[in-house]
Amino acid sequence: MTPLLEQQIDKYACGASLPPLRPVDGVMRLSRMGAFFPHRLSFMRVLIRRLARQKAVMQMPVCALDENGFGHVVLCLPLSGRIYSLIAYSRPLEDGARTDRVIATSWDASFCLFDGVPKPADIERLADEVTRQEAGRYDERALTLSRANKSVRLFQHVTEALAAGRQPDKEQLVSTGYLMRTTAVYGNGKFGIADRDQLVKYDGLEGAFQAEMLTVFLIREFTLFLAEYCASQKGGGTAVPLSRENRRYLGVGNSTGLGMAPFLVTHPCLLNSWIMAREVALARVIQCQKASPYKLQRAKDLLARARLHCLDWQVEDAIQMQRIHILRGELERLIADISARPLAEIAPFADLYQRAENASEELQELLVSVLIELMPEEVDALADCMATDALPRLVPQMPISELKSLIAEHYHWVEDIDFTQPAADAQFWYVSAAKLEPRLGLRHSEPGAELEMPFNIAGYIRALNIELAEAGEDESVASFLLRAPRHRNIIRRIQTIAKFPYGEIHDNLVGQDCRPIDLLRCKLSFFGASKFDPKSDKWTRITLYQGAPTADELAINPPEISDDWLFPLHPDSPSPQS
């Protein structure tokens, strides 16, 4: 381990010696990042633990819906002594106008997370703004914006079933898993809402994406309420509410495309914090020398639950479905192997991880999530390390000899790329003028490459190396940049990655084989998303909060029960132990 890496991980060691981490080279490959699963450090899990510890009780001070479920609702939830409110506007929408595309201008529902309890004048004022989303005008009391469309078939089926006095069909619940699907959750000061620099100072919203995760949690509550409300309007006294088990199973859908992918490239310090926390958590669990009978049984139970969860995981994408088929078989064999040959008495979790060393990356990364789950006392505090104020900084006084050493240490993977082949730079990233979102173009057959975003990291390293060969070893970076200022950004990145090694993706992001879906899955796994459903290699559907406790459970369940929702199962699933 390099001295720079040791300095970077001091805050994760918490006063103890840090065990060896998985090599950066192995972790930061796109194929592995595209196999990540949600885990205890995912941002949704962090929020739920906080709410559960505080026994938060949600209230609905305003419900102004007509007989068709159109109007508005306000949901209020206290968090760390501060009240946050979701203002939800439900509007009629013609089927032909319902689209998940980011350029849509109308939705079934639109939302605003509001600081405090909104007054009637706030609700009225925001009605014309929130329902237009990007076209609206806001102030700092609006913390996030979002919008969602109904999963029409499932929403209709659920309301009709409840109206008739019965629970919805299991197969339909499993095939979709959500009543509404969001198409964006905006934060970070967009369109005049509260700036992130201020938001992270708000009680309860410290940490990564907590305002956005709270928004989605309350959107889920709204969707469940709306379905039951519509059923009661239709069925009257015959109508029944969703069972507690079905309420917990239903999450919130989301459609995510290329707009999210560049985040991991443009925020290397933050990406390093996320990955580092996860790797430290894994290392702590693997180094455990003895495990109680409870933890050993817990590991078996989680693997059994994961197996059933994967049996419910069906997608149309041929590549991902093949991976799921392989994963199912590997889980079966691993569970059978543990039954026939119990885990080692000394370092049992290291033994468990090693048993998958020749398995697929899907199984290996699923095991990371399982292992992290086993020792909350060693893992949960790492959530405080997942936000950072660090930014890339240029070190102009660095000698060229040291810069070359950093490139050799952290960018040796670039040498594996054959830049003489057109496939090496077959694609380019750009921002669409029409959609104002990142897109991928084909460099050798489409116009616009001159407008590309600066994501050709491997190409920049190659070009820099060519010019560095002519520079003196003792020359400073500042002197070099006076002659070659075009290399300023990549040199700053190299110097940054020396301190934040998990912040760089060790793959060619403009190569022919680059699959942006891997970037999406990596980021979404840190949100806590499950049931990844790729619709191409550029966009996916996911489910958020599936299996999580609903608001009415937070105050009555013990926190450890509220926190136990990794690999959610439908309530009619067989027992994982059977």
Q: What is the pLDDT of residues 447-488, one digit of tens each?
A: 999 999 999 999 999 999 999 999 999 999 999 999 999 999
In the prediction, which pLDDT does 198 show? Answer: 87
DSSP letters along 335-395, please?
HHHHHHSPPPSSSHHHHHHHTTTTS-HHHHHHHHHHHHHH-HHHHGGGGGGS---------
Q: At 564, list the tokens.
A: 């136990």
How sure is the predictor about 577, in pLDDT bands with cuts at 50, 70 and 90?
Answer: low
- The C-alpha atoms of residue 423 and residue 513 are separated, in whole angstroms, by 8
In the prediction, which pLDDT does 6 show? Answer: 47
Taking 60 as the threshold, does the pLDDT of residue 436 lie above it? yes
The answer to whether 382 touches 280, Cβ cutoff 8 Å, is: yes
**What are the CA-CA distances from residue 478 to residues 459, 465, 498 (Å)?**
22, 16, 18
Tell me the three state secondary structure of residue 181: strand
In the prediction, which pLDDT does 78 show? Answer: 97
- The C-alpha atoms of residue 547 and residue 562 are separated, in whole angstroms, by 10
How sure is the predictor about 553, in pLDDT bands with cuts at 50, 70 and 90?
Answer: very high
Residue count (the chain): 578
DSSP character for 188?
T
DSSP letters along 246-263, please?
HHHH-EEEEEE-TTTTTH
Angle subtended at Cα 493 by Cα 488 and Cα 495, rounded to the nearest 5 degrees: 95
Taking 90 as the threshold, does the pLDDT of residue 101 lie above it? no
The chain-wide mean pLDDT, for the chain, equals 93
Q: How far apart are the first and last CA of the chain?
A: 44
In the prediction, which pLDDT does 104 show? Answer: 73
The answer to whether 306 touches 567, Cβ cutoff 8 Å, is: yes
In the prediction, which pLDDT does 578 show? Answer: 44
Q: At 253, list the tokens.
A: 């859908």
Q: What is the pLDDT of residues 351-410, one digit of tens each?
A: 999 999 999 999 999 999 999 999 999 999 999 999 888 999 999 999 999 999 999 999
In the prediction, which pLDDT does 576 show? Answer: 67
Taking 70 as the threshold, does the pLDDT of residue 4 lie above it? no
Average of pLDDT values for 97-119?
A: 87
How sure is the predictor about 415, in pLDDT bands with cuts at 50, 70 and 90?
Answer: very high
Amino acid sitting at position 536: S
- The C-alpha atoms of residue 549 and residue 248 are separated, in whole angstroms, by 6
The answer to whether 528 touches 44, Cβ cutoff 8 Å, is: yes
Average of pLDDT values for 112-131?
A: 97
In the prediction, which pLDDT does 95 show? Answer: 81
Average of pLDDT values for 328-337?
A: 98
Cα torsion 64, 69, 73, 76: sign:
positive
Phi, psi for residue 440 in degrees, rounded to 5 = -110, 130
Taking 70 as the threshold, does the pLDDT of residue 13 lie above it? no
Residue (of 274, 291, 525, 528) closest to 382 by Cα position: 274
pTM of the model: 0.94
Q: What is the dihedral of CA 266, 268, 273, 274, to 10 degrees?
A: 50
